[in-house]
């Protein structure tokens, strides 16, 4: 960690900064964003803030005002060029039971990490995870703090050559990677799983859809099965920090880095923030 703010103030000791009654800890009662700092600018910051607000609304958390969150991040990244910014907003600290105490003040935690090594110019190898995603419309799409499924899924493999694990929901639908969204190219169209029952509506997913539409590419959000992936002419993963990762290997299956993936990657590189 390069710097940590809790409720806007730099903490001297990040190992000792959060309440034992913090509802983020006791119930996972909050949301988070993980963002890419590039040339002292948080990429797609407006979209991250918008998604955070959607998540808070869904959970009935009164999200801090945008200027408050913007100021947190401005202080966090001051004089920093590149890195990974994590922002957590919880319902606050207090209340032994599940019931939210109405008067709680949401907790803000902002952490700056060094940059990731994001390079995947030659594409990535992926695997199937056996951990399934539960289906619940109420929690689908938002980036809440109840992430045991993703933790267990990432715990399934240690091989360094596997960059990501693909996850199915309990009905066998292909939903996402453990920390990525998934896209395939099918009959010339860009297709990505419908996320009404599980998964996270990634900020990079949204940007890629927007870029594809602006390039005149047909985009479909619909339920996908593993066979749809295997039949696809191209496949790639998206993540706000990593951008677009072409998928080239899954077990015995190989894909080329196809023209659609290359085109969208170029469009993304040229896109504003």
Site for a copy of itself, rule CB under 8 A: 1, 4, 6, 11, 14-29, 32, 34, 59-60, 84, 86, 88, 90-91, 93, 96-100, 109, 111, 113, 131-136, 138-139, 144-155, 170, 178-179
Q: Which is nearer to a copy of itself, 165 or 246 (CB)?
A: 165
Q: Which is nearer to a copy of itself, 11 or 219 (CB)?
A: 11
- The least distance separating a copy of itself from the CB of residue 118, rounded to whole angstroms, comes to 13
Angle between helices 45-59 and 203-214 (to 10 degrees): 120
Distance separating alpha carbons of residues 207 and 196, to the nearest angstrom: 18
What is the CB-side half-sphere exposure of residue 153 using CA atoms within 13 A?
26
Using the CB atoms, write b or e for 89-128: b if 16+ within 10 Å.
bbbbbebeeeebeeebebbbbbbbbeeeeeebeebbebbe
Q: Which is nearer to a copy of itself, 35 or 260 (CB)?
A: 35
- The least distance separating a copy of itself from the CB of residue 209, rounded to whole angstroms, comes to 24
- The least distance separating a copy of itself from the CB of residue 142, rounded to whole angstroms, comes to 10
Q: Which is nearer to a copy of itself, 152 or 257 (CB)?
A: 152
- The least distance separating a copy of itself from the CB of residue 115, rounded to whole angstroms, comes to 12
Q: Are 209 and 191 in contact (CB under 8 A)?
A: no
Task: Using CB atoms within 10 Å of the CB of residue 188, give its burial: 0 to 12 exposed, 13 to 18 middle, 19+ buried.
Answer: exposed
Q: Which is nearer to a copy of itself, 21 or 46 (CB)?
A: 21
Structure-derived torsion over alpha carbons of residues 7, 59, 97, 11, reported in degrees to the nearest 10? -10
- The least distance separating a copy of itself from the CB of residue 136, rounded to whole angstroms, comes to 4
């Amino acid at each position: 960690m390069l710097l940590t703010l809790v409720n806007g103030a730099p903490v001297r000791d990040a190992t000792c900064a959060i309440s034992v009654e913090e509802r983020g800890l006791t119930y996972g009662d909050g949301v988070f964003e993980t963002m890419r700092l590039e040339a002292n600018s948080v990429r797609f910051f407006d979209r991250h803030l918008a998604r955070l607000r959607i998540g808070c609304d869904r959970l009935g958390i009164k999200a801090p005002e945008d200027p408050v969150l913007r100021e947190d991040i401005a202080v966090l990244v001051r004089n920093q060029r590149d890195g990974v910014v994590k922002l957590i907003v919880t319902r606050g600290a207090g209340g032994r039971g599940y019931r939210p105490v109405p008067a709680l003040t949401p907790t803000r935690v902002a952490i700056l990490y060094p940059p990731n090594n994001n390079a995947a110019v030659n594409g990535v190898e992926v695997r199937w995870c056996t951990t399934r995603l539960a289906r619940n419309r109420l929690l689908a799409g938002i980036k809440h703090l109840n992430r045991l499924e993703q933790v267990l899924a990432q715990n399934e493999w240690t091989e360094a050559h596997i960059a990501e694990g693909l996850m199915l929901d309990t009905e066998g639908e292909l939903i996402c990677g453990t920390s990525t969204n998934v896209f395939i190219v099918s009959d010339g169209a860009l297709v990505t799983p419908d996320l009404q029952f599980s998964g996270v509506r990634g900020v990079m997913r949204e940007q890629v859809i927007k870029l594809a539409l602006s390039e005149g590419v047909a985009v479909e959000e619909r339920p996908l099965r593993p066979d749809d992936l295997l039949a696809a002419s191209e496949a790639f993963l998206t993540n706000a920090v990593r951008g677009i990762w072409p998928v080239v290997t899954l077990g015995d299956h190989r894909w080329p880095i196809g023209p659609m993936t290359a085109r969208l990657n170029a469009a993304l590189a040229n896109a504003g923030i």
